[in-house]
Amino acid sequence: MLDLETFRHSTSHIMADAVKQLFPASKLAIGPAIEDGFYYDFDTEKPFFQDDLIKIEQKMAEIIKENLPFERTEYSHQKAEDVMKDEPYKIELIRELPDDKVTFYKHGDFIDMCRGPHIERTGLVKHYKLLSATGAYWRGSEKNKMLQRIYGTAFFTKEELDAFLAHREEVKKRDHRILGEDLDLFSIHQEEAGPGLIYWHPKGATIRQLIEDFWKSEHRKSGYQFIYSPHIAKINLWKTSGHWDFYKEYMFSPMDIEGQNYILKPMNCPGHILVYKTRVRSYRDLPLRWAELGTVYRYERSGVIQGLLRVRGFTQDDAHIFCRIDQLHKEIMDVIKLAIHIFRSFGFSDFKIRLSTRPAHYVGTIERWDMATDALRQAVESLNIPYETAQGEAVFYGPKADIDIRDCLGRAWQCFTVQVDFNLPERFDLYYSAKDGTRHRPIMLHRALMGSLERFFAILIEHYAGAFPSWLAPTQAIILPVTPEQIEYAKKTYSELLSKGIRAEIDSRDERLSERIKDASLSKCPYILVVGEKEEKEQTIALRQRAKKDITTISLDDFIKLIKQENNPKD
């Protein structure tokens, strides 16, 4: 039985063979199979372009046609270095190998150091495709030379390859970085301002405000209150919290203010704890559910920063719940329910939960851990959501649950976390006074539903392919007067919509109607309202719905009713 990994790895040898034949000066680095295919890194004088990939594919076809056998050999270290004498990267690797023997695989004239296994003959490869070329540092380190990587894939059947390529095309079309620019949603100014720092443009900011308003209103209904805390604090706060010890590599370098070191906050928790400590809290005051759209800054290497998905500054939809042990169960249930409700409201319906339990080293009592873990488990089970248990994989301060949401392309994104914390209440000496006046430690829950607004926005853009549902669309309706004679009627329509809280625009540019309809469609606005002589006379509008061909003539009132119905997310 042929396994796909072996199959793809052999294809990467065939590709390397083709590259060496076409570009004999190129040096081989490594070429493993990966999740969706394979790659091979080469040290070449210039990058590979699309034309090169086509030539390489053609050369691969020749090698496949020859149906060459893959042959395994073992050499001594000395012999191995001889065989690879023109391949400096291979020599480097050979010298690190602990074994006496080094395994090689050969097909035709191409020989590569490789553990194997491989398929029997090159002719078995039929359905393959080179996907892209990109720069990649030797051994992934920016200190090393930049090599040229070619990504490719291979499948057993044509159907599988076609499905993969179609999916890939769809993912590309939905790329939030491209849509973000096309739809004028956000920008990143790597050179001028720095990588991983997001500027939300008016249209993106409108969506963000709609998300925030919805989030706040749902939290208010669920008994949350809000906090605003500053973005910097003295370094000592992070020493008390333990972040300076455990999290330092993600924290930005300190700023000196009057001889004291201040740090940009990577977390909101210590701030909420300071607020907790401003008053003596009674058992009656708990639970306290404090939420903050808190913008945090975390260091990520510039090499791993990517669009809105991996950034240096992002806004967490954070909250901390301070509760008694007898309240923990309900609080966890409610948090998970709220998360699922929010996700459903954005059109996600496929979830997977991972429950992480007590590790070898932990703080708090086993009894509390068990209680918290049971509460998490029961919450998940009562919601009928599939879950897996990651035994012993919680961090030392408490059990947690994560939720992956699956988007319309079936990709899983981790957003939600609820984390039980027995540790910070200890470190900051938090307490509440019981009915009898004795002091007790509250338990803290950390939770973020969407995780980061930036990342969630990326997921939404790709999930909706930029065609946001009406309640989230930055512009809900674009009004197009057929001729300048209808501009007045268009303006009246516009004012009417605005006064009803509908986000509308007029496009009365001196362009042909078909041109303006095309532009409005490209903007992915859900409704296009065309008003001509007939519509003005009848006080109606000609309505085009996004992704629908037919045009309906309706009264403005009916349109307002229609859009108002869509103005709230549906769970």
Nearest distance in Å: CB 258, its own copies: 6
The amino acid present at 457, given as its one-letter code, is: F
> Would you say 126 or 301 has its CB closer to its own copies?
301
Cβ–Cβ under 8 Å, residues 200 and 209:
no
Burial of residue 367, with CB atoms counted within 10 A of its CB: 0-12 exposed, 13-18 middle, 19 or more buried: exposed
Q: What are phi and psi of 256, to 5 degrees?
A: -90, 125
Secondary structure (3-state) at 540: strand
Measured from the CB atom, is 109 or 510 closer to its own copies?
510
Residues binding its own copies (CB under 8 A): 184, 187, 189, 192-194, 197-202, 205-206, 208-209, 216, 225-234, 236-237, 240, 252-258, 260, 262, 264, 271, 274-275, 278-279, 284, 290, 295, 297, 299, 301-302, 312-313, 509
Residues with catalytic function: 269, 298, 316, 318, 320, 400, 446
* Residue 524 DSSP SS3: coil
Q: Give min distance, CB of 120 to its own copies, in A.
A: 49
- Least Å distance, CB 226 to its own copies, is 4
Which of residues 211 and 371 has its CB atom nearest to its own copies in the complex?
A: 211
Nearer to its own copies, 143 or 549 (CB): 143
DSSP character string of 178-219: HHHHHTT-EEE-TTTT-TT-EEE-HHHHHHHHHHHHHHHHHH
Shortest Å distance, C-beta 436 to its own copies: 14
* 46 vs 143 by CB, closer to its own copies: 143
Closest-CA residue to 419 (of 451, 397, 438): 397
Min dist CB 206 to its own copies, Å, is 7
Cα 196–202–206 angle (5° rounding)? 100
Residue keyed to tokens 């719905």: 545
The answer to whether residues 480 and 530 touch, using CB atoms and an 8 Å cutoff, is yes
CB of 246 to its own copies, least distance (A): 19
- Cite the beta strand spans of 383-508 per DSSP E: 387-390, 400-406, 412-421, 432-433, 439-440, 443-452, 477-481, 504-506
Contact of 543 with 559, CB cutoff 8 Å: yes
Cα Dmax for the chain: 92
Q: How far is CA 96 from CA 72, 89, 93, 102, 333, in A?
A: 21, 11, 5, 11, 52
Between 133 and 502, whose beta carbon lies closer to its own copies? 502
